[in-house]
Structure formats: structure tokens, C-alpha cells
Structure 1
Amino acid sequence: MFAAQSAESAAASQQPEAYRYPRPIWRVIVAGQDVTGEVRPRLQSLTITECRSDQADQLDLVLDDHDGRLELPARGVSVRVLLGWESTGLVDKGTFEVDEVEFSGPPDVITLRARSADMKSALRTRSARSFHGTTIKAIVETIAKAHGLTAVVGTFGNTKVQHIDQTDESDLAFLNRIGKRYDAVATVKDQRLLFLPIEHGKTASGKDMPTVTLSRRDGDRIRFHIADRDSYTGVRASWQDKGKAKRRHVLAGVIGNAKRLRQLYASETDALEAARAEWARIRRGMATFEMDLAYGRPDLSPQTKIRLPSIKAPLNEYTWLNVKLVHQLDGNGLTTKLEAETAEAADARAEDEAQPGGDLPAVDIEDAD
């Protein structure tokens, strides 16, 4: 069907607008050369998987090699992919580097697996160092500069860090360990090192992502799951009060069946941030949502917020946050599968902190021992 695009496009242009079927469009650029024309008659499937956090975006390209004329590409070759629809145009899904090549048959096919070129191997190289008397923003900027990237940091960038060690872990793992304390995530997009709150969807330039509205007719399969909201009532974290030589605790949420963090924090502020971040993660994960979009949405990306106003309660009561997206182009067209969790924890946290005696108080409790 791809090889006959020109003839099909000509025929479609003669049909009334109301009877036209949506047509996916795409481009594949290898090592700077547009090879869409060569790939089109051989394409079996093109799949892009996008995830949150430090996981690299992945491209899987399956090509027909029935005549044996395809050469196995070298690893490290760059592949840029653009996906979209005739009616809305192309969306640049980024540049990938081939790191796996597979040949199988019969029927003979070649599968290329590539990962986001932004996730440089150096970012995943283990190292050790320490930071003293600094801020989150300064730490992120130091790491970004070392890799030739531009740092984009959230509103907590000026948060002070008394001391933290990077111990035999990659820069990305180190940043995501810090992010876990502040409910943030580190990733690389478009030559930018992003360190942003999970609940605040941002583009690679640091701008707010628009909230997308979806309806039942946009998908052909929906799955909603909600967990027991009473399983945890909050999160408890401990810190060492050196002045009084006592261990104290803070609580995010309410006393009851509170999850207890094992780490002992250096200050009340550090403990409270960690407790709040973990409580936000728990609340987000209480409800999850999956949807298969028959009409693919390559414009969606992780951290995009979604509303479902026309779908039954309680799905329409939440704002959802994309966690994972799989865009697939094959003989059936262009589709998107999305996985999301609730973004309500962020809104609830803002309300709680604004009201004395709210759901996230700082509770100071002395240990009896």
C-alpha cells in the first residue's frame, strides 16, 4: 500500500472531503539521507516507544528482504523519524542510533532496533563525586555542561543541597535518585537535559504542554484500573536532629497505615520532601488508564496531560498523565497505545500545602527510644 501512495493520493484528491479516509504520512532519514522512497515498499512495521524517566526512546523498524538485496546497516548509524497525517502534517519523533540488527527468515526480514541518540552512552557511564553547599540547579547544570547539553530545571532549582554523593552510578541514575526525593524526573530531549516535576508536563524547551482531550471514539480499547485507596494513608520519613541527638519524624498524609521510608535524612526539610514525593507517587499510581487509539497521535509524548470528559465516571473525574506511548505504523495504518496515571496528586498537594491542617502536614514526633 505504501508503494502506491502517489496514485492513491491522486485518487483521494478527487473524492469529496467527507469520504476521504485519514492517510498517515512519514519520513525516514538515515545518516542525513532521506530514504523514505527506498524503505516504503519494504516496510512491514515501524514502532516508536516513548517512556518517562531515564529510559531511552526506542525505534523498531522491520523491513522485508525477500529478494536479499538489503544490506545489514552498521551499528551507530543515525535514524531520524517523522510521523503524522496528511491533514495535520509531520511530527518529528527524534533521532535514534542503531544498536541492534537482526536478520530472520523465511520469510526474510531485517529488524533494526535503535535508541534515542540523546541518551548518550557517557550519561550512562558510572562515576563517583560529591557536591557540597550547592543547589539542584547547579548540580543539573554541571552535569549538562559536561555532556554538551542545555539544562532545563523546574521551579525547585534553587533548593539547597547541603551534601550529596554520586557513588558508582551514572549521571542519569544519580539525577533520578535526586528526582525521587522531589518527585521529579531527569531525561534528555533535543539536546536538553530536563529535570522537571513529574506532575508538570513540560516540552523540551521548558514550556507547559497543552492538556489533550480524548473521547471514546478516539480509541478501540480502554482499560481502567483503580487500587484500594485505603492501602496507605500517608508516608513517614525520619531525620536526625543533631542538636538534640534524637531521631524525629515527619509525615506526608495522615496518621494510620503510613508507609515508612527506611533512609535516615539529614534534615527535616530533606525528610519532608522525600515523604511528600513518595506520597505523590503512591497517589498517582492508585488509578491507571490504558487506551488504544485507532487514529494515531504522534503529537502525544510522555508527561502530556489528558482529559476524558465524555467517558464514564470516574475516568472523567481525573486529569491523566502519560507514562508510556507506543506509536506503530504498519499495514493497518498509524496507531498509538498510551498508558497513563492520575495527575491528581499534584493538585491535591498544592491544595493541602495552601491550607493549615491539610493532608500533608509536617508532623514532628520524638522516638521513645
Structure 2
Amino acid sequence: MSASLHSIVDDVLHRSPTPIFKLEVDGVDITSKINNRLINLKIENKRGLETDTLDLELSDHDGMLEIPPKDALIAVWLGWSNSGLVYKGNYIVKEIEHSGPPDVLHIRATSADMKTAFKQKKERSFNNITLETLLTLISLEQSLDLAIDPKLGSETIVHLDQNESDANLIIRLADEYDALATVKNNTLLFMPTGQSKSASGKQLPTMWIQRKNGDQHRYSFSSGGEEVSGVKAFYYDTELAKKLEVIVGDESNTNIKELRHIHRDKKSATFAARSKLNSLKRNSATMSYHLAKGDPNIIPEMTFLFYGFKADIDDIYWLGTSVTDTLDNSSGYTTDLTLEVFFPDADDVTELFEDQFEKEKNQKWTGVAVYYQDGNNAIRLTKGDQAHVKEFTYLYYSKLAAQQRLDREYSLLDLETGKFKSHNQIDMKPYTGLKTFYSTDQGKTRHVVTYGDQSNPKVIDHVYHNKKAAEKRLRRDYPRLNAKQDMVKKLNIQHN
């Protein structure tokens, strides 16, 4: 074949790639034997300790297909003829069904990482142990590697009773610390939710999806998460011998969600409340997306940016929660995504309010003030006598939301005693600018992108897949940074 003909063939293959796959059963490659028998192959890959699944439908029209034994190990690869195969994991055969005519073999398998011992109940206690030490112990017992965020790993657990399986304990710890806990490729991964890292702990790229690609989407929004302004969690103080509480969020008596479980200490109660509030905010908006051309490189916990959709969709950083790859003999290779709101920096929803009755027991308030964002500015709304105003310092995104908060707080003010039924505080950070990172070589080299005065920048600890994505994030966040600075300035004027 001539060089020019080779070039033409390569060009056609590049422009019209075909889906390819590879299957191994107990280490034996069976791809060639079933290549013309494949009806449907579906892989559901989920975030967390939920079990991943593989479903296979194969034609047995000639009765020559062998039924694999139960607990056989199936390894799967998916990809395209012009880009190659991508490993999609190992799965253990759990269910087999043969039906007909026409004769079809249906195989259902689950992720090999989720060992039976992981779900066996244990009874034991731990004292003064770091989270990393505890998870290292569990990993060794389960013959797993461990990848844990250093900051989370350094957290000290004063006392913990385990009366459950290792899987349930890890899920409980993940809930308390707002972390992702999952087992992939024989590695236990424990990272803050939204860190967008792989099972090896490497930074995952952010994927851009444009409307012109012609895929299908479904966006939905529920105000349920937005309406919950704070979460209350309880803990038992052994020295005082009584149950105490902490509240995370924008405190009010009308929209506080209470967690029933009594936690072992104040720190764990705070983590649990923060985790629940972040979860509520993430789940207020959801997105499902169908890629007509499947992408085997997409995995849960990746982040996504959409371009060319509605502004409400384009303005959100999305976090993958489940990925379904389907290879069908009629519709080809497609990928379906389920996404939720990504909070890489949740300062605005994790402000902690506690112990304010003691701090303000001698104060007598006469009115209230609330702030909302208008571009780079913070606008102050007030109600009541302004002689001694209580400043509620959560910066609202809209005037309507701020006005509702203003009215609610004023209704809680007893004008005779000057006391509130709910109190508020915020730890304001005098940031002067923004800084984040991007990488074009899958995180091997990190490049810095800045915006504004860098004397005390707020660092958004996320690595974007290109400079444009990083700059878009900083431009979006900068007006809010200015508005917060404006609010602090006004608060200082009011207090001087």
C-alpha cells in the first residue's frame, strides 16, 4: 500500500472511529470469541463505597457460548479505534441468566474491590488515634493501599467505638468529615468531597462540555437545600455531663435542620453539621448528561464546566457522582453522567455559630442589619432603631434573600430586653485577591493564575485543565471578594 493510501486510510479511521472493547475472564482474553456476540455491555461506576456493576448481554444463537463460573473475575477495557483502550476495572460474576429463544446469556458482576470481609461486623474501640492511623489499620486488614488527604489524615479522634463493619465505619467517618470514601483499583481513597482526585490521589482534570456537541441534558433545581440555612448537631460533654449543640450555617430559628445522632465530641459534631449542610447545598441543583460519543476516561469525582447552555448551568462547577458506560450493538458507545453542584470553596455555607449567648450576654440590641451583594459592592439593609445594631454578616446573593433574613431576625428581637433568640458570628478573612492553578500535563506541572492584589490572596486549591478555565473561575469569584471587603469596611465604620 502506498504512503498516500496509508494517509487516506488513517484519515478516514480518525474521522470515523469505531468503539472497541476487551474482556478477560480469569486472565484469559475472550474478546475474539464474543466480538460478534455482544448485544450490550454496561458499566455503572459510582462515587463512594457503593458497588460498581457490570452487565453483559451476549448472543448464544448457536448454543456454543460457555457459561462462566460464579465468582469468575472479568476485567474490562473500553475505547475507540483511533485512541485505544482504557481500563475500566475488575468485576466478580454474581448472577448468570440464560434465556431464549433467541438464546441470550446475561451476566451481572460487581466490583472486585468490595471484599466480603469489608462488610463483616466488628466490635472494638480506639482512643487518641489520628484518622490516617485508623484508616491505615483498616486498609492493612483488608489488604488495600491507602490514599488520604494529609489534612484529613492529621485529624485526631479522641474516642471511637466500632460496632459495625469496616465499610459502615468508613462511611460514617466520611459523613462526619465531608469526605469521599471509595475503594478503586485496590486502593482506599479518603479525600474531601469535591477534591476531584483519582484513586491514586492524583488531581483529575476538569472537563469542558459545549452545547454544540449535540448531546442530551436534563437540569433540575430544588429550593430545598437553599431553604435550610443551617444544621444543628449535638454532642455529649463528659466534663459538664450534659448534651450540647453546635450550629453550622446561616443561623435562624425557622430553617435549622437538626441531626439526631449525638456525636462523641464537639469537633465531630461540627464536622457532621458542616458535611450535612454542604450536602444539602450540593443536592439543590442536579444535572444529568448523555454523551452520544462515549468517553472511557470519565470517572466519578471529576469536575465539569458547561458552555453554551443556560447561564444557571454554565455558572455552576459540577461534580460527577455516577458514570454509566454503555456499549450497544445498535446504538454504539455512549456515556451517561449524573452530576451535583461542586463546592471547591464552601466558605459561604460553613460559617460556624456557637457560644454567642455567653459572648453577648451584656449586649442590648435595638435593630438589625443584613448585607447582600451587588456586583463588587455590599449593600446594607437595616430595620429598627439604629442606635445599637446587630450585624448579621452572611453576604447574600440577592436583595430579596437579605430582606427575608432581615425581617426574620427582627421578628426574633425582643425590643424590651434587647436580646435575640438566635445569634450569629463570622470569621472574616481580609483577602485582597485570588489565586488558583491549572495544568496541561495532567497535574505533573502546576501553573499559577492570579487575579487582584496578591498581598494576601485567597487560594482556590484546585487544578484546572487549562488557563482559560482557571481565569473564568477567578473572574467569576472576584466580584464577591470585593463585595465581602466592602462589607467588612462598612462593618468597621459601624463599629467605630
Q: For the residues of structure 1 that align with 2:42 and 2:275, how far apart are their CA atoms?
A: 33
1:178 paired residue among 166, 173, 180: 173
Deviations 1:81-117 (A, max 9, x none): 1101122221100111111111111211001111111
The residue aligned with 1:3 is: none
1:101 matched to 2:100: no
Aligned CA distance change for structure 1 residues 165 and 240 (closer, same or farther; 3 Å): closer
Q: For the residues of structure 1 that align with 2:20 and 2:354, how far apart are their CA atoms?
A: 56
The residue aligned with 1:294 is: 292
1:172 Cα shift?
A: 1.2
The residue aligned with 1:339 is: 338
Contact 1:246 1:366 in 2 (8 A): no
The residue aligned with 2:454 is: none
Deviations 1:199-221 (A, max 9, x none): 11111111111111111234532
Which structure has the higher relative contact order (CA within 8 Å, separation 6+)? 1
Kindly provide the amino acid, as one letter, of the partner of residue 145 in structure 2. Answer: T
Q: For the residues of structure 2 that align with 1:14 and 1:119, how far apart are their CA atoms?
A: 44
Q: For the residues of structure 1 that align with 2:350 and 2:273, how far apart are their CA atoms?
A: 12
The residue aligned with 1:306 is: 304
The residue aligned with 1:328 is: 326
Q: For the residues of structure 1 that align with 2:138 and 2:120, how far apart are their CA atoms?
A: 12
Q: For the residues of structure 1 that align with 2:356 and 2:244, how far apart are their CA atoms?
A: 5
1:317 matched to 2:315: yes
1:51 matched to 2:46: yes
Bigger CA radius of gyration: 2
User: Residue 14 of structure 1 aligns to a residue in which SS?
Assistant: helix
TM-score normalized by the length of structure 2: 0.67
* Structure 2: gaps spanning 5 or more residues: 359-420, 422-496
Deviations 1:254-275 (A, max 9, x none): 1120101112223222221111
1:364 paired residue among 340, 355, 362: 355
After the TM superposition, which residues 1-369 of structure 1 pair with which residues of structure 2 at under 5 Å, given as runs?
14=9, 16-17=11-12, 20-154=15-149, 155-167=151-163, 169-228=164-223, 229-256=225-252, 257-331=255-329, 332-344=331-343, 346-347=344-345, 349=346, 351-352=347-348, 360-364=351-355
TM-score normalized by the length of structure 1: 0.89
Kindly provide the amino acid, as one letter, of the partner of residue 173 in structure 1. Answer: N
Q: For the residues of structure 2 that align with 1:291 and 1:237, how far apart are their CA atoms?
A: 35
Kindly provide the amino acid, as one letter, of the partner of residue 165 in structure 1. Answer: D
Higher mean C-alpha displacement, 15-24 vs 44-53: 15-24
1:133 Cα shift?
A: 1.2
* Structure 1: gaps spanning 5 or more residues: 1-9, 353-357
Contact 1:249 1:364 in 2 (8 A): no
Q: For the residues of structure 2 that align with 1:243 and 1:130, how far apart are their CA atoms?
A: 20
Contact 1:238 1:271 in 2 (8 A): yes
User: Residue 272 of structure 2 aligns to a residue in which SS?
Assistant: helix
Contact 2:159 2:264 in 1 (8 A): no
1:66 Cα shift?
A: 1.0
Q: For the residues of structure 2 that align with 1:282 and 1:230, how far apart are their CA atoms?
A: 8
Superposed CA RMSD in Å reads 2.2
Kindly provide the amino acid, as one letter, of the partner of residue 89 in structure 1. Answer: G
Q: For the residues of structure 2 that align with 1:219 and 1:253, how far apart are their CA atoms?
A: 40
1:126 Cα shift?
A: 2.1
Higher mean C-alpha displacement, 179-188 vs 36-45: 179-188
Q: For the residues of structure 2 that align with 1:190 and 1:131, how far apart are their CA atoms?
A: 28
Q: For the residues of structure 1 that align with 2:69 and 2:315, how far apart are their CA atoms?
A: 49
Higher mean C-alpha displacement, 288-297 vs 119-128: 119-128
